[in-house]
Amino acid sequence: MVVDKKSILAILMFGSLWGLLECTFGAFLHTLHLPAGAVMASIALSLMVYTRRIYQRSGMQFSMAFIASLFKLLNLGFIGGCVWCAMLAIIAEGLIFELMLLIPLMVRFHETHSLLSGAFLGYATYSGGYVLTEVFTPLLSSAGFFISDLIALLPLIFVRGFNAAFLSSILVFIAFRLSSFDLSHLRDDLYYALTSTITLLCWFIAFIV
């Protein structure tokens, strides 16, 4: 039961960190016309990999993505009016990560080859998330969905996926190394105080930015 409480607080904290980064660093990258999607997908992936290694709970990363997506509700100025589209993109990343790690072969590969699995997961998370967003964004807006647009876009998505693959390989490698620091082994009172404070701080910063 104690482990459950810790997992919930971890979902809130890491989801909030992810959401805050999307609102601040992601928006900043957008303004510089840098590949914000690939960079943010890689950062998100490293958070998901770290928490999966520490807490060993499937479903946790999807929940983190959901929490992170809620930050987009505070970030209306940056996303051009389609808050659901931006939220969907984040949730899609969490969903694809969870689906990928349902494959036993992928789990074994992930545990033994951090750099390559990071690249593979980064590529899949980014490209899959991009495709899902391209499908669902028209359905959530007044514009129509044209399959010809998606087919024409696939080569571009698959090429851009290499940006995410490269960055993810590095960040996932770092996340593997950082997972030797097991946050969940902190003393209970310290853990609760730390995670709650960081979560509240993330929401506070996102609210005032």
Partner 1 sequence: MKELIAAFVLLSLFVGCVSQETSGSDEIVVAGGVLSISELSTACGHVEADGHSGIPLDCIVIQAGVDNPEDLSFTLVGSDGYQKTFNWEDMLQGVLTDDGLAVFPHLPKAFWVKDVVEVRYGGG
Q: Alpha-carbon distance 103 to 99, whole Å?
A: 7
Of 6-14, 15-23, 46-54, 140-148, the segment contacting partner 1 by CB under 8 A is: 140-148
Q: Minimal distance in Å, beta carbon 140 to partner 1?
A: 8
Q: Does 121 bind partner 1 (CB under 8 A)?
A: no
What letter would DSSP give residue 145?
A: P
Applying CB under 8 A, among 166, 179, 186, 205 the residue interacting with partner 1 is 166
- Scanning 22-113, the segments in alpha helix (DSSP H) are 27-31, 36-55, 60-70, 83-100, 104-112
Applying CB under 8 A, among 24, 29, 109, 113 the residue interacting with partner 1 is 113
Under rule CB under 8 A, which residues in 19-38 are in contact with partner 1? 35
Pick 66 or 78: Cβ nearer partner 1: 78
69 Cβ contact partners less than 8 Å away, ≥ 6 residues apart = 19, 86, 87, 88, 90, 91
Distances (CA, A) of 137 to 104, 145, 146, 155: 32, 8, 11, 19
Of 45-53, 60-68, 166-174, 201-209, the segment contacting partner 1 by CB under 8 A is: 166-174
Please name the helix (run of DSSP H) or strand (run of DSSP E) that holds residue 119, with its range, or none.
helix 114-140
Of 62-70, 159-167, 184-192, 199-207, the segment contacting partner 1 by CB under 8 A is: 159-167
| Tokens 């992930």 found at | 110
Q: Minimal distance in Å, beta carbon 102 to partner 1?
A: 24
Q: Alpha-carbon distance 115 to 24, whole Å?
A: 27
Under rule CB under 8 A, which residues in 167-196 are in contact with partner 1? 167, 169-170
Applying CB under 8 A, among 104, 142, 185, 187 the residue interacting with partner 1 is 142
Q: Minimal distance in Å, beta carbon 142 to partner 1?
A: 7
Determine contact, residues 58/186, Cβ cutoff 8 Å. no
| Tokens 């499908």 found at | 135
Pick 56 or 141: Cβ nearer partner 1: 141
Q: Does 104 bind partner 1 (CB under 8 A)?
A: no
Length of the chain: 209
Quick check: helix, strand or coil at residue 103?
Answer: coil
Residues that bind partner 1 (CB under 8 A): 35, 79-82, 85, 113, 115-116, 119, 133-134, 137, 141-144, 146, 148-149, 152-153, 155-156, 159-160, 162-163, 165-167, 169-170
